[in-house]
Every structure is written in C-alpha cells, then in structure tokens.
C-alpha cells in the first residue's frame, strides 16, 4: 500500500509521469542497466582507450622489440616493448643516454605551434642508448617524423623502464605525417599478434 502511495505521489518530470524499469524496451533497459557479465574486468587504460598499439619485433637486431602507440591526431609514443632483450638482463636497465653521437636528443627545445627546433628523424635513426650492468643497446625511432619530446624523467629514474616501460617509462613522442605512417604501418604487429608471437598473457 505504501509503495502504491509513493508511486502515486512521485513527481512528474518535464510534464511526464515517471516510468518503472519494466516499461522500458529491451534496448533502453540494456543502456540503463547493462549486463554485469558483459563488462570488462577492469576499465580500459588511457593508452588502450586513446591509442592504437603497434609493435616492432626484432627491430634491426634480434630481441630489440619496441612499441609505437599511435593517436588518431598523428602523435606516436615510442618505447621498449616488455619483451625487449635489455629488460631481461640481470639487474635490468640502469641508465639511459640520449647522446647518440653528433646529437644529444635531450637538448631539444621544441616551441610554438610550428614545432620549431623539432628534429626530423628517420625510422632507423638512433633515438637513445639504454645501458645494463655490462651491455649497451641502441633504441631506434621506429617512425619517421618530428621528435617533439623525450621523457627526461628517465635520466633520473631509469628504473621506470624496468617497472613501467609501456606507461611512465615511454621514451619519446613523435609527430608523423599520415602519408609516412601508411608507408610503414604494415611492418608492425598488432598487440594481439605481438602477444601471440612472444607468448605474453
């Protein structure tokens, strides 16, 4: 009785009487109360939601696996894939060096909308070197484009490469022209293909 009185006294919204869930069609009900069983175990990360993930396995050298996370606006985030050989070395990566000979990538100062001072690099250009206890590995750009930013946190916190290479431990950000991307896209593996190749769960 009390429930009937409450329903009768429920206020109108925009001149319409309130509707109970049973009166909605199936499609609307699914939007209001989705099946919990169809929801993912965890919400997608910012990377998963905003970037297409690509991988270069054995890039120029065996075990030199790298990733390229590409945003629809052309920005490409480049870093070490979790199966990169340097991450398997005893003690992991201990240092990163952006001085690759004639140029120190850490000294770039890109300014303005026109990205003044951005370095124009090729996919095979050396981006940096990562060091383990007794070895050094050259990391490549993987994409042709403008180097907009290097992750300078890595110079003080190289351990980010060991603990979060695919997130906070990214190495650099590039801006690439759509035409340049289309030329190399087929050389990369999708995330699923890369996981299958390396046996990653």
SS3 labels along 8-42 = HHCCCECCECCCCHHHCCHHHHHHHCCCHHHCCCC
Higher pLDDT pick, 27 / 96: 96
CATH number of the domain enclosing 159: 2.40.50.100
**How many domains are contained in the chain?**
1
What distance in Å separates the CA atoms of residue 171 and residue 174, rounded to the nearest whole number?
10
Scan for tokens 């000294």, then name that residue: 107
Q: Is 182 part of any domain?
A: yes
**Taking 50 as the threshold, does the pLDDT of residue 7 lie above it?**
no
Measured CA to CA, the distance from residue 175 to residue 145 in angstroms comes to: 6
Neighbours of 61 (CB within 10 A): 11
Average pLDDT, the chain: 84
Q: Does residue 20 belong to any structural domain of this protein?
A: no
Give the model's pLDDT for residue 11.
52
Residue 89 domain-assigned?
yes
Identify the bridge partners of residue 8 per DSSP, sorted by sequence position: none
Residues 6+ apart with CB under 8 A from 117: 108, 109, 110, 111
| Three-state DSSP class for residue 132 | coil
The yes-or-no verdict on residue 192 having pLDDT over 80 is: yes
Domain that holds residue 83: 54-107+117-194
* Pairwise pLDDT comparison (117 vs 143), residue with the higher score: 143
152: confidence class by pLDDT, cuts 50, 70, 90: very high
3-state SS, residue 163: helix
For residue 19, tell me if it sits in a domain.
Answer: no
Q: Is 199 part of any domain?
A: no
CB atoms closer than 10 angstroms to residue 49: 8
Q: Where are the alpha helices (DSSP H) in the chain?
A: 2-9, 26-32, 46-50, 153-156, 160-164, 178-184, 191-198
pLDDT on residue 107: 84
Question: Does the residue 22 lie in any domain?
Answer: no
Tokens describing residue 54? 């690509």
């Amino acid at each position: 009785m009390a429930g009937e009185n409450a329903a009768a006294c429920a206020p109108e919204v925009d001149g319409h009487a309130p509707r109970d869930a049973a009166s909605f069609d199936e499609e609307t009900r699914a939007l209001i109360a989705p099946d919990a069983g169809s929801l993912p175990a965890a919400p997608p990360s910012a990377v998963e939601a905003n970037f297409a993930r690509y991988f270069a396995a054995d890039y120029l050298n065996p075990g030199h696996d790298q990733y390229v996370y590409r945003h629809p606006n052309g920005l490409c985030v480049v870093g070490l894939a979790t199966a990169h050989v340097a991450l398997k070395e005893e003690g992991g990566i201990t240092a990163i060096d952006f001085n690759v000979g004639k140029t120190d990538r850490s000294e770039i100062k890109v300014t303005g909308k026109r990205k003044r001072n951005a370095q124009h690099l090729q996919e095979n250009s050396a981006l940096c070197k990562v060091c383990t206890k007794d070895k050094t590995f050259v990391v490549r750009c993987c994409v042709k484009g403008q180097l907009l930013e290097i992750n300078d946190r890595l110079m003080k916190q190289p351990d980010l490469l060991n603990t979060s290479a695919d997130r906070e431990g990214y190495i650099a950000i590039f801006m690439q022209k759509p035409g340049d991307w289309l030329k190399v896209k087929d050389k990369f593996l999708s995330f699923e293909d890369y996981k299958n190749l390396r046996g990653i769960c």
